Structure 1
Amino acid sequence: MKKQSIYQKYVKRCLDLIVALPAGILLVPVYIVLAVLVRVKLGTPVIFKQERPGYKEKLFVLYKFRTMTDQKDEHGNLLSDEERLTKFGKMLRSTSLDELPELINIIKGEMSFVGPRPLLVRYLPLYNEEQHRRHNVRPGLTGLAGVKGRNNQTWESKFKWDKKYVDHCSFILDLKIVIETFRVVFKREGIAQEGQATMEEFKGNE
């Protein structure tokens, strides 16, 4: 395993706190408005919680605003993600407003502003050795794979960018990713693959 730089080990975490703490306070009015809208349009709970693997694959609870309804079919089974994702939910995702509660994860040290996106726990047994390396850094609110196509790319491509980030993590790279993130979100690029709520499920390596 590559030894962490001083930036990765100390500076990056300090910068996360310096930005996340005041941002969390300043965004309180936005949280309140979004919470009310989510409650009215999508129901409760307002916050979606799900375990995700973080640094060194340690599990943590990820926080997001919910973007889907609890619609079920005649047999009581939940409809597909695509069917439960409303127009309002799509707006939250396309603008990344649903991700705002992850500031809590950043403050707690479970995430960073920049890093590979935290994926589903059930994918862990499916990764090969190189793909497991994405967990050698904290997961991020945004990342290199995110600005290189978000969800409109193959899993192979996503893991390639994650690996590159792990190998080349630096302040300059993080700054470039943050700046590029604003452009991608503003243009609403790569929100989802065609026919998917986000992107197709990862089924492992053939």
Structure 2
Amino acid sequence: MKRIVPIMLSSVFLLTTGCTPVNKTNDKEIKSETKDSQKKSDKNSSVNTSVDRKHDFTYLEQLPKDKLETYNQFLEDGNLDHLTDFTPEQIVLLYMNLVLKHETDKIYALTYNNGQLPSLDRFKDEYDHYLSEYLNEDYLAYRFYDSISVDEETRKKDSLVVQIKITYGTTTRVVNYGLKREQNVWKLDLYHLVKDSKKRAKKCEEAGS
């Protein structure tokens, strides 16, 4: 019988105990195969979905051609109107591709705001310090995922959870991403993780002073 191990992204930061560096992973079950920092690709470069699994991978290889063309338009001009017809699952796949490309300005655009996001420049700093490593590990760990789908039990009018599943032998692991609809586009609801991590770092600083 396969064993299913759910990994809630919203709880990733809670796995770190004590006053360890906030941008390191202690207990996350799936480790990345590399710790090399992601180099930013050529700005606004278009996506090629031709895949050689020995050397290359993209979360967008199953994206329909018309959606890929629309996504490339978004990369060029940053206009969210291009993405209004994308499903929640497709938005998660786009987001993961942006993580690899380190397109932080586009990641910013696809992160749920609701008046909580800081300026783009500040978000870039916070993303690099609090989120980038975790998302890069997820990118690597789930790059050959078996399925991606909405958890129907979480579906509401403007919010839901998308699950990515991958099987290793007899173990199935799941990562969950919360999304909310904003500007008629599904966006990932991740910024609360940054705020939680900053609060924890502040407590550690106070404890050490």
Q: TM-score range by the shorter chain?
A: 0.3 to 0.5
Query: Of Structure 1 and Structure 2, which has the larger fraction of its residues in helix?
Result: 1
TM-score (norm 1): 0.32
Structure with the bigger RCO (C-alpha within 8 Å, sep 6+) is 2
Query: Of Structure 1 and Structure 2, which has the larger fraction of its residues in strand?
Result: 2
